[in-house]
Amino acid sequence: MAANKSGPIGIFDSGVGGLTVASAIKQLLPDEAIVYFGDIAHLPYGDKSPEAILHYSKKITDFLIGYDCKIILAACNTVSATVWGELSRYTMKRAIPVNVIDSVVKRVAKLNPDASIGIIGTKNTINSGTYPDKIKKISPRARVFSLPTPLLVPMIEEGFVYDDISNAIIRAYLSNEVLKEIGTLILGCTHYPVIRNQIRKFYDFRVEVVDSAMIVAEDLRSTLESGKLLGSEAKSSDRFFVSDHTEYFGKIATIFFEKKINLEKLDFWK
């Protein structure tokens, strides 16, 4: 597979979550153009079947490759946890496939081999066991505690952030006995960095809350450098596509990128 050095970075997620990763990539790699697809019409992926998730992911991958993307980044933990093997094989002949789990696991597992690590994410991400399995391969002595937190994605997508509703939901989840003894918490969903400060505050800042966005961006830069694929200047403008439009998506995109983002609605499932 010969990726085009001047091609953009393709990024997709089920909604606004992937914007956290896209924003980090633009901060770290300002000369790279990105093409983003938010599949709001099928949000959330966390309660969909693997077959449906793979179908959506392949269609979006085909769309992004149509823009000559050199990287296809699945900025969705559910995709990365449930269908990554087949999706990466589907992608690799045409672009470099990247997910959001491997980079985080490597960073966290190597810091402290005896760590007590908590993971929160969608039902599919947690039930897949992907995070514990990958962490244990690197640090067999690590203790890993997982908790599904399915209400957080729709809460964030509906704009319930920094209010009594979001604080109550966060408190209800994080008070679970499963997470009682953790020293590190992995946010196993790219939506969750939006509420990272609320989570840190719940723990009185005593627990390290790991935001995957910048970790993934740093690993992506290393991948481009090693493959001699770093762009020296963005050859095209960033593009943002959604399969459905919500007012909140536009607001979040504007906040992350500190400018008005033009959202292009495109539903190629019809």
Instruction: Considering the candidates 9, 25, 71, 76, report the single residue annotated as catalytic.
Output: 76
Three-state DSSP class for residue 73: strand
Q: What's the CA gap between 49 and 182, in Å, rounded?
A: 30
Other Cβ atoms less than 10 A from the Cβ of 269: the count is: 11
Q: What's the CA gap between 262 and 177, in Å, rounded?
A: 43
Instruction: Considering the candidates 24, 189, 199, 252, report the single residue annotated as catalytic.
Output: 189
Annotation says 76 is catalytic: yes
Letter for the amino acid at 153? V
Q: What's the CA gap between 155 and 137, in Å, rounded?
A: 33
Q: Do residues 106 and 222 touch, judged by C-beta distance below 8 A?
A: no
Annotation says 69 is catalytic: no
CA torsion sign, 128 to 129 to 131 to 135? negative
The two tokens of residue 154 are: 């729709």
Residues tagged active-site: 76, 189
